[in-house]
Amino acid sequence: MSPLAACDRGLVLRARADQVATLYRHGHLTTVSMGLGAAIFCAVLWDVAPHAGLATWAGEYLNETVAGLQLGTSLLRRRDPPEFRRP
């Protein structure tokens, strides 16, 4: 049995929401590091992989990254009070 089963369900849900918010709050750092990794990946494989395949992969990666950033930004805007938001 999970130790969380003994806790108040609302408290567990709030803790999970805080964890997700923390992840999205630092999402820009993850995005930059993953973008750098993707660029290195493409550079290393440029001479051995089909360019169309690399371009497709990079495009899909960029699409997923933008969607994730939009989701994270939306979550933080709904969650944080206006007085704590950056302009």
- Sequential pLDDT tens for the chain (87 residues): 677 677 777 787 777 777 777 776 776 777 788 888 888 999 999 999 999 999 999 889 888 888 877 777 776 666 655 555 555
Query: What is the percent of the chain where pLDDT is above 90?
Result: 17
Give the per-residue pLDDT at 86.
54
pLDDT tens digit string along 43-56?
A: 999 999 999 999 99
Domain ranges of the chain: 3-80
CA-based nearest residue to 78, from 37, 21, 40: 21
Give the per-residue pLDDT at 82.
59
With a CB cutoff of 8 Å and minimum separation 6, the contacts of 72 are 23, 24, 25, 27
